């Protein structure tokens, strides 16, 4: 049995699987980021409360189904990529955990992009590190280890300062051939920081890079108690390299081979397109990262997806509560999403911008969600829901158009996973129309990255000599997987195009709202 744990944006999930990916038990814990003094963050104590709660929930569910305590052969940790998590020599945080959602590193990201001649997005760890150094934050001289959330949890459980290459590629650029940090850029960064007389060089504080299939250490006694205070979980369990949510999403959708792609949609939304060759030039809107096995990937990442949509669903649920109705949350989403299918193709002339935080693809350092209508708009629940769903994925479409127009990249099919696809068919159908490309969803899509990192833990122990991750997934995990594919309907495609024109014009209103800062 293999255990995968993922710390997502709104939920910490634990999934226990067998050798072919079958789910034996699962557990979860809800949590939420907070905006504190202008910084999007999570309390790390909440992370440990959540990890223990999710694992405890899984153990209870396993016992109810199968009896006894699960005998775990290997564990994998996944979490949100990027951000800034700096630790001192004792492994204690030196500053608040700064998540991927923070977009205040515009100056630093632009400078590094120019120096490296390689796009460095604002949420990447190296941009946050450079900002902390430039602002001469008191703690920077004491940084002993800089990592991601997945790397931090893995480190506390195993004592190992390592990171899977997919997650590492969102901290600092990697060399696709050598499967390690780019040596030239490491030198350029150290030169850039030389005037600050720091006691460390950047390679000394970054985690060691590992690829899928390599060993990531073993559960320590201290780590076992962190994860399972009951004392039933024994030390010594093997760990695979910790990975980011983008990498585990690729695994969970069997999208790690060249020419494949997926869309992960939840609090944020991103498309991962595994490249046949490097991009022809630098695009400020496009990340270049890698799969857990080290293949280059074009990543279109949008900070905002379902947060605004979820808030509206909550309001609609509260409205029903005024009449004494208490609908199941899943049923509420199901009914509201299905209503969107009955709306006008373009959303009835309504428009919304879902930017709760900044959005680099369209040039926003901050966000303000807005919903608007014109005098001729048709305001009903069907069009409201369709507009909210369109808004959740509109910026993704803008980013993908950059690759289509600039590189001529064509997408034969994209695999979807994440909360956006929990309601069967609806998100899938509307995204197919939004992107004008078939969208496929597998049975495992709802399990997400926790399932994906569990698969990577299994790959570490179960792979044959010389077997690639691509072959392992294709031949063992997905050999008999069923999927549902939805092709774009012309009416949906044309309807979204009309909405998109309104949306692009409406971004001027969004900009004014940000400037007013209400």
pLDDT at 21 over 80: yes
What is the per-residue pLDDT for 451?
Answer: 92
CB 510 within 8 A of CB 355: yes
CA dihedral 247, 304, 267, 380 (to 10 degrees): -140
pLDDT at 444 over 70: no
Q: What is the pLDDT of residues 237-253, one digit of tens each?
A: 999 999 999 999 899 98
Average pLDDT score over the chain: 93
Q: What is the pLDDT of residues 378-414, one digit of tens each?
A: 999 999 999 999 999 999 999 999 998 988 888 788 9
pLDDT at 445 over 60: no
- What average pLDDT score do residues 220-235 get? 94
- What average pLDDT score do residues 107-112 get? 95
d(Cα 269, Cα 128) in Å, to the nearest integer? 21
pLDDT at 210 over 90: yes
Which of 338-352, 413-427, 456-470, 500-514 has the least mean pLDDT? 413-427
CB 417 within 8 A of CB 441: yes
The confidence band for 277, taking pLDDT boundaries of 50, 70 and 90, is: confident
d(Cα 511, Cα 122) in Å, to the nearest integer? 19
The confidence band for 222, taking pLDDT boundaries of 50, 70 and 90, is: very high
Q: What percent of the chain has pLDDT over 70?
A: 99
What is the per-residue pLDDT for 360?
Answer: 87
- What average pLDDT score do residues 55-64 get? 95
pLDDT at 175 over 90: yes
CA torsion through residues 396, 399, 401, 404, sign: negative
Three state DSSP letters for 298-364: EEEEECCCCHHHHHHHHHHHHHHHCCCCCCCHHHHHHHHHHHHCCCCCCCCCCEEECCCCCEHHHCE
CB 154 within 8 A of CB 87: no
pTM to 2 decimal places: 0.85
Which of 80-89, 168-177, 254-263 has the least mean pLDDT? 254-263
């Amino acid at each position: 049995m293999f255990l995968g744990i993922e710390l997502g944006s709104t939920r910490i999930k634990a999934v226990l699987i067998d050798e072919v990916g079958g789910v034996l038990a699962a557990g979860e814990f809800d949590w939420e980021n907070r905006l504190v003094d202008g910084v999007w963050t999570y309390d790390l104590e909440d992370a440990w409360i959540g990890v223990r709660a999710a694992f405890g929930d899984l153990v209870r569910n396993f016992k109810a189904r199968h009896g006894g305590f699960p005998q775990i052969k290997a564990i994998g940790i996944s979490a949100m990529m990027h951000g800034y998590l700096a630790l001192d020599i004792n492994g204690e945080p030196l500053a608040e955990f700064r998540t991927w959602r923070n977009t205040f590193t515009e100056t630093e990201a632009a400078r590094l992009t120019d120096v490296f001649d390689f796009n460095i997005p604002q949420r990447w760890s190296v941009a946050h590190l450079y900002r902390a150094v430039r602002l001469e934050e008191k703690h920077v001289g004491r940084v002993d280890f800089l990592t991601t959330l997945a790397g931090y949890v893995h480190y506390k459980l195993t004592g190992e300062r390592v990171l899977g290459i997919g997650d590492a590629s969102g901290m600092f650029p990697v060399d696709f051939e050598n499967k390690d940090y780019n040596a030239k850029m490491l030198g350029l960064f150290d030169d850039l920081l030389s005037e600050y007389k720091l006691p460390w060089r950047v390679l000394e504080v970054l985690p060691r890079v590992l690829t899928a299939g390599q060993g990531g250490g073993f559960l320590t006694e201290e780590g076992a108690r962190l994860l399972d205070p009951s004392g039933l979980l024994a030390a010594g369990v093997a760990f695979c390299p910790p990975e980011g949510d983008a990498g585990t999403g690729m695994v969970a959708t069997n999208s790690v081979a060249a020419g494949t792609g997926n869309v992960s949609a939840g609090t944020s939304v991103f498309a991962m397109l595994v490249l046949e060759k490097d991009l022809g030039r630098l695009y400020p809107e496009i990340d270049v990262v890698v799969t857990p096995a080290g293949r280059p990937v074009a990543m279109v990442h949008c900070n905002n997806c379902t947060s605004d949509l979820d808030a509206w669903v909550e309001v609609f649920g509260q409205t029903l509560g005024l009449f004494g109705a208490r609908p199941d949350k899943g049923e509420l989403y199901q009914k509201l999403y299905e209503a969107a299918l009955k709306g006008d193709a373009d959303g009835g002339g309504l428009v919304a911008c879902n930017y709760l935080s900044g959005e680099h693809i369209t040039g926003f350092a901050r966000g303000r969600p807005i919903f608007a209508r014109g005098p001729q708009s048709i305001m009903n629940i069907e069009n409201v829901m369709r507009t909210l769903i369109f808004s959740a994925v509109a910026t993704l479409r803008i980013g993908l158009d950059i690759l289509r127009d600039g590189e001529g990249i064509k997408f034969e099919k994209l695999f979807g996973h994440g909360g956006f696809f929990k309601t069967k068919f609806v998100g899938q159908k509307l995204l197919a129309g939004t992107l004008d490309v078939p969208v496929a969803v597998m049975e495992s899509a709802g399990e997400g990255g926790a399932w994906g990192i569990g698969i990577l833990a299994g790959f570490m122990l179960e792979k044959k000599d010389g077997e690639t991750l691509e072959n392992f997934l294709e031949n063992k995990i997905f050999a008999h997987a069923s999927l549902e594919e939805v092709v774009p309907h012309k009416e949906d495609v044309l309807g979204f195009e009309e909405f998109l024109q309104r949306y692009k014009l409406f971004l001027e209103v969004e900009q004014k709202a940000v400037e007013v800062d209400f």
